[in-house]
Amino acid sequence: MSVNLSQPAADSYVPDRRPLAAALARTTHLCLAAHQDDIEILAYHGISAGYARRTFTGVVITDGGGSPRAGKFAKFSDEQMKAVRRTEQRRAAQLGHYGAMLQLAHPSAVVKDPHRLEVVADLAAILRATTPDIVYLHNPADKHDTHVACFQRSLEALRSLPARLRPKAVYGCEVWRNLDWLLDTDKVVLDDSAQPKLAAKLIAAFASQIAGGKRYDLAIAGRRLANATFHTSHATDRATALTWAMDLTPLVRDDKLSVEKFTLAHIDRLRADVAARLKRFK
């Protein structure tokens, strides 16, 4: 099954040049992300898992036109930046041996509008064409508005599927708000230790963002190492790079489960844990 995407500027890329339908059908790990470079930050776990057999598919929902720019990109127009970022994302897909890379080219304003149905329709079509085992999303406690909107549209697309087509696991990963605050019992531990040189190359592929004054190449490696080191206080490190995720599978299995209630329950459990520890040693 192939997909017909709604935006004329949408881009489909298969690094090993297989037919798109066949490339999508081999997907085991799928990431639905807001911007170019978000995939490489939040879903490296899936990229490395699918590397050998090209079973990872990436999806970027927005067009990338509103990104900060500096240096040689300082005077680039939005249209020029869209083209640069599209090329950078293709390069990352090539480096990471992605099975397929889809860039949907929706403006952020459209993604944020719950009455615009084309975003959910595109995502649902991709989910039907890929039927992945694991899906990586932004987490609902992220502090970036577009990330949260993309999470909402992705959840709506997942919930539109019949139960038999829904993935086995859905993870909401950290980008613009770390998830180290989650209780350990609430954390999904994504081990990103494999192929550190590849992980670095994937982030470095987005030169326009690094030149724009955001050292994602240093920050992401540092965060993953910090997660690994601070994971447990009474044991030696078993990994060199970790990403934290929130298990969103209950939201996909139960259409009536409130996103707000589900998300705030994690904060309530953190509050109760802090209160109990303070009381214990008072």
Q: For residue 131, give the nearest of 26, 236, 237 by alpha carbon.
A: 26
**DSSP code per residue over 62-77:** E--TT----GGGTT--
Is the dihedral angle over the CA atoms 66, 259, 243, 253 positive or is it negative? negative
Domain 11-280 has CATH 3.40.50.10320: yes
Are the CB atoms for 62 and 32 separated by under 8 Å? no
Which helix (H) or strand (E) segment holds residue 12: the answer is: strand 11-13
pLDDT at 210: 79
**What pLDDT score was predicted for residue 65?**
75
| 193 closest CA partner among 52, 55, 49 | 49
Q: What are the two backbone dihedrals, phi and then psi, of residue 157, each rounded to the nearest 5 degrees?
A: -65, -45
Q: Which residues pair with 32 in a beta bridge?
A: 59
Q: How far is CA 89 from CA 11, 83, 95, 100, 238, in A?
A: 10, 10, 10, 11, 31
Residue 268 to residues 187, 271, 272: CA-CA distances in angstroms?
15, 5, 6
Q: Which residue is associated with the tokens 């990471």?
A: 96
Q: Kind of pairing, strands 11-13 and 100-106?
A: antiparallel
277 backbone dihedrals φ, ψ, rounded to 5° = -70, -40
Q: What is the pLDDT along the chain (282 residues), one digit of tens a residue?
A: 678 999 999 999 999 999 999 999 999 999 999 999 999 999 999 999 999 999 999 999 999 877 766 667 767 777 888 888 999 999 999 999 999 999 999 999 999 999 999 999 999 999 999 999 999 999 999 999 999 999 999 999 999 999 999 999 999 999 999 999 999 999 999 999 999 999 999 999 998 887 767 888 999 999 999 999 998 766 677 899 999 999 999 999 999 999 999 999 999 999 999 999 999 998
Closest CA to 142 of 132, 154, 131: 154
> Using CA atoms, how far apart are residues 154 and 164, in angstroms rounded to an integer?
17
Q: What angle do CA 30, 86, 22 make, to 5 degrees?
A: 40
- Between 145-159 and 118-130, two packed helices, what is the crossing angle to 10 degrees? 60
The Cα–Cα gap between 276 and 255 comes to: 33
How far apart (Å, rounded) are the C-alpha atoms in residues 119 and 114? Answer: 9
Partners of 135 in beta bridges: 30, 170
Q: Domain ranges for the chain, please list them.
A: 11-280
